[in-house]
Amino acid sequence: METNLTEIIAKIEDYAVQQTLPTAKTTALFRSLLSDALAKATSAEADGTYFVKTGDIPAMWLRDATFQVLPYIKLMKAIPELETVLVGVLRRELRYVQHDPYANAFNQTASGAHWSDDESDIPVSDLVWERKFEIDSLCAPLLLALKLHENTDNIDFLDDEFWQTLELIMTVLETEQHHDQSSYYFKRLDCPDNDTLTNDGRGTPVGYTGMVWDGFRPSDNACEYGYHVPSNLFLVAVLTKITPLIPAKFNALKARVETLVAAIQQGVTRYAMVTLPTGQVGYAYEVDGLGHQKLMDDANVPSLLALPFIGYTSIDDSIYQNTREFILSDQNPYYYQGKVLAGIGSNHTPEAYVWPISLAMEGLTSMDQAVKVAQLEKIAVTDNETGQCHESVSVDDVSQYTRDWFSWANMTYCELALDVLGV
């Protein structure tokens, strides 16, 4: 298994060497990073699955892992052996969901390692690194399965285990449509306010909207208002595309999926489509169903910026474009401009720090090739000669950044580079 992984990595590196981007800097960074997720973050397991750590933290985030390996989908025609690895990543994600569908990050083994000693409605398992409920954790395996389905004739991975896992996911999502009736809570002591849930671990109060309640944003910071709009739209995107693939013997599951999607869509229309500070109609970032709205965007995907990338809408959709205009302006509290960079950051990192992931997403959600190339060049400048993309970077000084190795950022750069190359 290890030898096979080594051979695949060598083929990826050979592929990268044959590609040339618009500048020497962007080319060098791409060639250095394309094998990053497989060579440095991925381990072959005895059960045929693959563990993907997030980078300098030894745990596997379901969301991060999917986006880390997503660029390899585009390489499957050139390197068919990648399919085995990608299906193996998917199967490990599914088994983690089966183990605890409320957890966002997992250990490679049942080591008992945790980010912190947290309190939740059930004891935190030795296999769980962190038990923050994030909708995107449940969307991530579905997105990976859909991308695999679109790019291979072999769909053996859409087996009973997959559909039974979707049944479990649906049960959680249906439960969290009515969070006031859910047993889930999360409490972390001696931490920043945004690293735990208020209201004795249950989060701020919400009213029923049809959307699914979310404890934590994709940044792993607590939602201020309980309905995280980008994550609900991510749900709509993956569930809508997966519905036609549900086999006849799971017809009851299909009906549940269709009912949930319709409820979320109605909730989004009623509560999440708002008048932005620009005077145009667009999407709020969070709402609570009680009249409160959070107008902003965060660098972490799923984000409002990333809606076309995650498959919810088209780039030229007017509501998306209105939202994009707002979030890529100083009216978004997490949009920063400085001497070197301008882009979206996060309350997960210092003020006036921009995330290379969001810079890449600006390019990936543009129809203008010149914009894509410009974003690629901006990111390449942020490596500070380390050969890494980092989590976030100061808008005034690229030598100031967070995280030495963040594989998700590296691979999103590669995703944009492959886009520029027309792959």
Asked if 141 and 66 touch (Cβ cutoff 8 Å), the reply is yes
Cis before 350? omega within 30 = no
Q: Domain range holding 394?
A: 2-420
DSSP characters over 18-83: T---SSHHHHHHHHHHTTHIIIIIEEE-TTS-EEE--BSS-SEEHHHHHHHHHHHHTTTTT-TTHH
Two tokens at 349? 């990192």
Judge if pTM exceeds 0.85: yes
Q: Closest Cα partner for 403 from 420, 382, 417, 419?
A: 382
Spatial neighbors of 333 by CB under 8 A, at least 6 apart, are 296
Task: Find, among 101, 243, 104, 284, the residue nearest to 176 by Cα.
Answer: 101
Q: What is the pLDDT of residue 1?
A: 42
Tens-place pLDDT, residues 93-119: 999 999 999 999 999 999 999 999 999
Task: Indicate the number of domains in the chain.
Answer: 1
In this structure, the number of other CB atoms found within 10 A of the CB of residue 56 comes to 11
Helix orientation angle between 24-33 and 407-420, rounded to the nearest 10 degrees = 130
Determine the 3-state secondary structure of 343 from DSSP.
strand
pLDDT at res. 367: 97
The CATH number of residue 336's host domain is 1.50.10.10
- pLDDT reported for residue 3: 53
Residue-level pLDDT at 10: 97
- pLDDT tens, position by position, 257-304: 999 999 999 999 999 999 999 999 999 999 999 999 999 999 999 999
DSSP 8-state class, residue 41: I
Residue type (1 letter), 241: K
Please tell me the distance from the alpha carbon of residue 392 to that of residue 145, in angstroms, as a whole number. Answer: 29
In the predicted structure, residue 2 carries a pLDDT above the cut 80: no
Residue 394 CA: distances (Å) to CA of 157, 218, 337: 42, 21, 10
Structure confidence at residue 16 (pLDDT): 98
Question: Could you please report the per-residue DSSP string of 367-413?
Answer: S-HHHHHHHHHHHHHTTTTSS---SEEESS-TT-EE-S-BHHHHHHH
Q: What angle do CA 234, 145, 262 make, to 5 degrees?
A: 35
- pLDDT at 310 exceeding the cut of 90: yes
Tell the residue number behind the tokens 């590196």, with chain if given: 13
**Structure confidence by residue, pLDDT tens digits, 377-386:** 999 999 999 9
Q: Distance from CA of residue 280 to its chain's centroid? A: 27
Tokens of 205: 């109060």
Q: Rounded to the nearest 5°, which phi and psi values hold at 330?
A: -70, 0
CB 128 within 8 A of CB 111: no
Sign of the Cα torsion 116, 393, 378, 28 reads negative
Whole-angstrom distance, CA of residue 299 vs CA of residue 2: 35
Please report, as a single letter, which amino acid is at residue 137: S
